[in-house]
Structure 1
Amino acid sequence: MDTDCIKIFAPATVANVACGFDVIGLAIDAPGDEIILRKTDTPGIVIKAIHGADLPLDPLLNVCGVAAQHFLKKLDQPDAGVEMEIFKNIAPGSGIGSSAASSAGAAVGLNELFGRPFDNKQLIRFAMEGERLASGAAHADNVAPAIMGGFTLVRSYQPLDITALHTPAALWVTVIHPQIEVKTSDARAILKQKVLMTDAIKQWGNVAALVAGLYQEDYGLISRSLEDVIVEPVRAILIPAFHELKIKCKEAGALGGGISGSGPSVFMLSRGEIIARQVRDVMNEVYAPLGVDYNIYVSPISTQGSRVIPM
């Protein structure tokens, strides 16, 4: 891209997608982080300002800075310098890929600034290093859809093998974000280290059926597949009114859903915008009496991922 200054939009994401723990993710249209990146004459990374969240400006302690440093190291241009201004529209700890959006946005933005020297697989690697800083593990289930858009599947980490899945155009997502914090490290700490073979078999079947349902645009099969018998039963206790929320959203027409990432956000997939907005109304009905602040987002599945937007 023939410019020294660009602005990037990096979308929020839903990871796990019920049965797809640590392997399936999807991107949504809103909310999303925005990052302004400028080339500078001073080598290295400078984070000029962060709006919307109290996060470190030190690039060694910020996911954008870490992803950017790995990018520049691989770029092998010792004199390259970039200044970043970050607009955090995705709350940290929300369960909808806050750190992933920033990491992905930084990687994609630098790639645009320097003439797209790297493909998506390499950009995902850079963004995964931001995730390593944020959660202690270099997961790709959020950064992959944040970069590629749509649904993505992480088949393997060694070697890294990520593929895009088909995204039915009629599929919408409704996400409620209760204003409580669930740390990824805490949510992982409560997981069982061993699972029953019967549960594992059921989970494998649901993952395979979900992928088939997406390609066939079989909404009944998608609905039947959105069942997590391993992680959700343990983590549900962290989220207020979780079971009531799921039941009433499905009664309103949702295909199904579950915990977004490690929570506290909860997502529900629907066929079409009308049902997705009916699901939003039900989420309001369930949460309004609880005395917990929350935000709700209604969005189609974003097929674009992180991208340049007008300044």
Structure 2
Amino acid sequence: MAATLSSPQTRTLISTATLSRRKGRITYRIVLTLVVVVFTLVFLGPLYWMVTGGFKSASEVVANPPTYIPKHPKPGNYHTAWTQLKLARLLFNTLYYAFGALAFQLVFDVAAAYAVSKLRPVFGNIILAGMLATLMIPSAVLIVPQYVTVLDLPLLHFNLIGTPWAIWLPTVANGFNIFLLKRFFDSIPNDLMHAAAIDGAGPLRTLWSIILPMSRPILGVVSIFAVVNVWKDFLWPMLVEPDPKNQPINLGINSLSQGVPENVIIAALAISAIPTLLIFLLFQRNIMSGLTAGGLKG
């Protein structure tokens, strides 16, 4: 280990010689502690403000200067938010939309990535480049053509406004997820494909029996991204789902918040953030391993 640290190929911000001195170690630890504390405050500060705001009274929420700790905590605000804003129904709607979008993405994005990575179609690289080029287009630019599409579905001429399909279909072709899946599939040896072909397995059987079982880490990452993207979306559901009873939680809170005190609204927002935080805390190891697995060969 010592040889590795002192190796001339090792490049770090602080040399091992500096860290070997007492003054260098103290300076390093102080700077590291300050950086960690600052970034922690930046990321956790808004969450703390939202959670504590749900415990404050309506007058204390809008008080100036603000209070950092609730003077008289009111846990009942969270119960009021749950019942008055019908959060149970809104959470069910959000889960319905999120897992529906997940199902479509897993089917179509996996198929597209598998085809580009292993089946190597004609002009496959050009097709992949076109998919990646869509990542450079701001999402706001795509809202109008997407809305026109779901308003009058080409060829079939169906109006999808007010149906779950209006939320599901625009999420299907996700260039970022296709790229992640393609990179992971590239790391799977082609020898396995050849062995399966010798045994008589076709492309679909190879995908189902060999590729997908080996791709659980990246499939978990794509699943989490798909769910979170639908969960946090606001503008698109506002355009295509006008009925407050069928809206996802972020939009539903906004639609049902007329005449509701600010502290109750903040409590509802805190409740709506809990599922995504739990998803990250429970699956953060899977997220990191899935993102890095495609960069390793063998």
Q: Normalised by the shorter chain, which TM-score bucket? A: under 0.3
Higher helix share: 2
Higher strand share: 1
